[in-house]
Amino acid sequence: MAFADTARIAVILWAIAALHRRGAYSTAHPCSTSTATGGKSVSDEASTPLPPSLRRWVNTRSAAAHIGIHPEVLRRWARQPSKHTWLPKPIRVGKEFRWDIDALETALADLDDRSQEDDDEAR
């Protein structure tokens, strides 16, 4: 699979995730009714559990604003992966990086937990 195809798939998944967050995307077709169920929608008959939360991919500016740093700092951290091993690796879509906000939050929480443990051990 070429890089362009992978990037295209990532953009499509990102768009579907955005639609899911807004509640505008449903996998059931609106006309999917069954005569065996008395005209009830198939999705009403057997409620299927929702898929696990989809990843939220955002650009560098939004990711940096979300964690409270300047976008250039986040770019610098991404350019130095050996120095910032805790940082999740972004994907590249066109000329921009896309960051998984959930992975970024988890990495920051783990980093904060580790620093608190180190402080407790130093005392």
Cα separation of 46 and 41, whole Å? 9
**Domain-located, residue 42:** no
**Domain-located, residue 45:** no
Q: What is the pLDDT of residues 68-112, one digit of tens each?
A: 999 999 999 999 999 999 999 999 999 999 999 999 999 998 888
Q: What is the pLDDT of residues 21-43, one digit of tens each?
A: 666 545 554 454 445 555 554 44
How many helices and strands, by DSSP H and E, does the chain display? Answer: 5, 3
Burial of 107 (0-12, 13-18, 19+ CB in 10 A): middle
Q: What angle do CA 56, 57, 62 make, to 5 degrees?
A: 105
Q: Where in the sequence is the domain holding 66, given as residue range(s)?
A: 3-22+52-122
Task: Give the count of domains, the chain.
Answer: 1
Residue 48: is its pLDDT beyond 80? no
**Domain-located, residue 35:** no
**Domain-located, residue 31:** no
**Domain-located, residue 67:** yes
**Domain-located, residue 38:** no
Handedness of CA 96, 84, 74, 102 (dihedral sign): positive
Percent of the chain exceeding pLDDT 70 equals: 62
The confidence score (pLDDT) of residue 115 equals 74
